């Protein structure tokens, strides 16, 4: 994520609030109450309903950066509803209907669209919203830099994490409300639109092309994406014995050769991570390579977005390619229920870099851990990894120290238990929502044969205390 600014207002009072985790894991083991808005993004998301499916029809005009959208949303009421509040940033609603009846009254304020329902909806009932909207989409400039729909020199990029989704579609923007998606993008001819999931149709009509994608596995709003560019969609070749997972590279003709070299070990990475973390969780994987250089790569469900600057075989580039791939397991299939637990994504993805390092014949996990520990020991401790606060949640310390917390579990539990734990973690929570407390509980279960093993005792100094614990070594 871009460098966070420090002016985020974390003092919003919240009507609904998730039960906060204890600041230590000693007393943990219970998971939080369901369906509360996220304390790290308190202005986003509603606790009153949950979305099951988004069908989005987008008309994107590149020359004028205009977006016309239609969102057909299938949702379920969690409380009796007379109004529905959606997140929508910088775009205007044109008209809407609910359960087929025209909405007569609605209101918009920054970031929010509220529909007065033509008829009340009972708690537990399913309902559908059909919302037409339009405008000139722009990124949302907040605590995490600019996120959301962004014009490139020649195309569009969407960086959703953590609050960018409402810049291009009305949604219930909570990480724990996962839904399936169908996204149709009509845009200028000779451009390719890439979205999550599988391309199900592509048609051309005069000077416009339409690309339709389906993502049937549940997906958090921030992981939904649209990338538009002068991309060719190329199948990444597979050698004998390698995973046959469909992997597509979306890349311009100019960068094609560079991308082929930089991504030549992508399938090996999938195989290494499958061995370490369990089966790849989605039907396919796509790597989008933008013409622009990107400060950081971006993760989205079933795809990653890398910049032209990442197309090298240096360790720095390869570790990012591995890191983004590993988010398919840690972040996308298993998504935090609350942003507070961001280490469950970034600590694990950093650890995955070390796994790739070792398995590809570079430094071992222990050597990478040692280097990270040395680096951390030379800097002041500004946050606790298990509750970093919203403006620090993408700080590099969360990544490195989060990975070291996992290394502490590996050292204490042994290799066999540790990788069994990661595989059970991904299997039991596949396409679900996760919490630190659930990970602690599972670690204790898997490592039950290790005398005195307590995941809470091991993790608390790493996640909930400031002083840096000693490097875990056997």
Q: Which residues bind Zn ion (CB under 5 A)?
A: 346, 349
Q: Which residue has the tokens 């390698």?
A: 242
Q: Residue 89: how many CB atoms within 10 A of its CB?
A: 26
Least distance (Å) from Zn ion to the CB of residue 65?
28
* Contact (CB, 8 A) for 10 and 389: yes
Closest to Zn ion by CB, 46 or 426: 426
As measured in angstroms, the least distance from the Cβ of 350 to Zn ion is 8
The nearest distance, CB 1 to Zn ion, in angstroms, is 8
* Residue number, 47 or 302, with CB nearest to Zn ion: 302
Instruction: Please report how close the Cβ of residue 324 comes to Zn ion at its closest, in angstroms.
Output: 7
In the complex, the smallest distance separating the C-beta of residue 219 from Zn ion, rounded to whole angstroms, is 17
Question: Rounded to the nearest whole angstrom, what is the least distance from the CB of residue 261 to Zn ion in the complex?
Answer: 23
In whole angstroms, the minimum distance from the beta carbon of 129 to Zn ion comes to 32
What is the closest distance, in whole angstroms, from the C-beta atom of residue 272 to Zn ion in the complex? Answer: 17
Of the two residues 192 and 304, which places its CB atom closer to Zn ion in the complex? Answer: 304
304: which 2 tokens? 């990653």
332: nearest Cα among 320, 318, 348: 348
**Choice between 214 and 324, CB closer to Zn ion:** 324
Identify the CA nearest to 186 among candidates 10, 313, 50, 56: 56
Beta bridge partners of 60: 67
The single residue listed with the structure tokens 């988010």 is 327
Dihedral-angle region of residue 29 (phi above 0 means left; psi in -120 to 50 means alpha; beta otherwise): left
Decide the pairing of beta strands 198-205 and 232-235: unpaired
Query: CA-CA distances (angstroms) from residue 46 to 35, 85, 127, 276, 302?
Result: 8, 7, 15, 36, 26
CA-CA distance, 91 to 70, in Å (whole number)?
12
What span, in angstroms and rounded, lies between the C-alpha atoms of 253 and 232? 7
Quick one: 96 or 321, whose CB is closer to Zn ion? 321
In whole angstroms, the minimum distance from the beta carbon of 89 to Zn ion comes to 23
Taking the C-alpha atoms of residue 106 and residue 93, their distance in angstroms, rounded to an integer, is: 9
Instruction: Tell the smallest beta-carbon distance from residue 297 to Zn ion (Å).
Output: 8
Closer by beta carbon to Zn ion, 173 or else 346: 346
Coil, strand or helix at 191: coil
Element of type H or E holding 439: helix 436-446
Could you give the angle at the alpha carbon of 250 between the alpha carbons of 245 and 333, nearest 5°?
45
CB 74 within 8 A of CB 126: yes
Closest CB 330 distance from Zn ion, rounded Å: 9
Q: Which residue is nearest to Zn ion (CB)?
A: 349
What is the distance between the alpha carbons of residues 309 and 300, in angstroms, rounded to a whole number?
19
| Separation between Cα atoms, residue 82 and residue 236, nearest integer Å | 50
The C-alpha atoms of residue 152 and residue 474 are separated, in whole angstroms, by 49
Query: Whose Cβ is closer to Zn ion: residue 41's or residue 349's?
Result: 349
- Rounded to the nearest whole angstrom, what is the least distance from the CB of residue 47 to Zn ion in the complex? 27
Could you give the residue ranges of the DSSP H alpha helices within 49-173? Answer: none
Closer to Zn ion by Cβ: residue 36 or 272: 272
Of 286, 269, 267, which is closest to residue 198 (Cα–Cα)? 286
Are the CB atoms for 195 and 59 separated by under 8 Å? no
Toward Zn ion, which CB reaches closer, 176 or 346?
A: 346
Pick between residue 346 and residue 359 the one whose CB is nearest to Zn ion: 346
Rounded to whole angstroms, how far apart are CA atoms 323 and 320?
A: 5
Nearer CB in complex with Zn ion: 143/456: 143
Q: Which tokens go with 131? A: 């919302």
Q: Where are the beta strands (DSSP E) in 324-464?
A: 335-336, 433-434
Q: Would you call the peptide bond into 162 cis, given omega within 30 degrees of 0 as the criterion?
A: yes
**Of 348 and 464, CB closest to Zn ion:** 348
């Amino acid at each position: 994520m871009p460098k966070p600014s420090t002016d985020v207002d974390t003092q919003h009072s919240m009507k609904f609030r998730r039960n906060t985790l204890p600041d230590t894991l000693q007393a943990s083991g219970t998971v939080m109450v369901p369906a509360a808005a996220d304390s790290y993004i308190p202005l986003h998301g509603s606790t009153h309903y949950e979305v099951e499916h988004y069908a989005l029809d987008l008309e994107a005009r590149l020359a004028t950066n205009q977006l016309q959208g239609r969102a057909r949303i299938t949702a379920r009421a969690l409380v009796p509803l007379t109004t529905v509040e959606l997140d929508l940033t910088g775009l205007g609603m044109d008209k809407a209907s609910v359960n087929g009846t025209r909405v007569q009254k609605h209101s918009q304020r920054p970031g929010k669209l509220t529909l007065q329902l033509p008829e009340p909806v009972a708690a537990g009932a399913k309902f559908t919203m059909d919302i037409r909207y339009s405008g000139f989409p722009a990124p949302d400039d907040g605590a995490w830099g600019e996120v959301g729909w962004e014009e490139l020199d020649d195309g569009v990029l969407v960086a959703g994490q953590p609050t960018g989704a409402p810049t291009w579609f009305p949604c219930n923007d909570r990480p724990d409300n996962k839904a399936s998606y169908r996204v149709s993008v009509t845009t200028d001819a000779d451009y390719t639109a890439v979205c999550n999931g599988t391309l199900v149709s592509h048609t051309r009509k005069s000077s416009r092309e339409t690309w339709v994608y389906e993502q049937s596995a549940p997906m958090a709003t921030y992981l939904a994406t649209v990338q538009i560019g002068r991309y060719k969609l190329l199948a990444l070749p597979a050698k004998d014995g390698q995973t046959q997972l469909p992997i597509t590279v979306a890349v311009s003709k100019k960068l094609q050769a560079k991308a082929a070299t930089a991504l030549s070990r992508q399938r090996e990475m999938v195989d290494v991570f499958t061995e370490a973390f369990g089966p790849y969780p989605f039907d396919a994987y796509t790597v989008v390579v933008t013409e622009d250089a990107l400060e950081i790569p971006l993760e989205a469900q079933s795809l990653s977005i890398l910049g032209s600057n990442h197309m090298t075989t240096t360790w720095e580039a390869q570790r990012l390619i591995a890191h983004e791939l590993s988010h398919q397991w840690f972040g996308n299939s298993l998504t935090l229920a609350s942003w507070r637990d961001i280490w469950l994504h970034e600590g694990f993805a950093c650890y995955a870099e070390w796994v790739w390092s070792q398995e590809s014949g570079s430094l071992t996990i222990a050597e990478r851990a040692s280097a990270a520990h040395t680096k951390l020991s030379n800097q002041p401790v500004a946050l606790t990894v298990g509750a970093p606060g919203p403006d620090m949640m993408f700080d590099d310390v969360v990544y490195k120290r989060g990975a070291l917390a996992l290394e502490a579990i590996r050292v204490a539990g042994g290799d066999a238990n540790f990788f069994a734990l990661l595989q059970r973690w991904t299997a039991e929570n596949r396409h679900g929502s996760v919490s630190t407390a659930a990970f602690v509980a599972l670690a204790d279960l898997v490592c039950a044969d290790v005398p005195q093993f307590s995941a809470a005792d091991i993790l608390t100094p790493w996640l909930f205390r400031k002083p840096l614990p000693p490097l875990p070594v056997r």
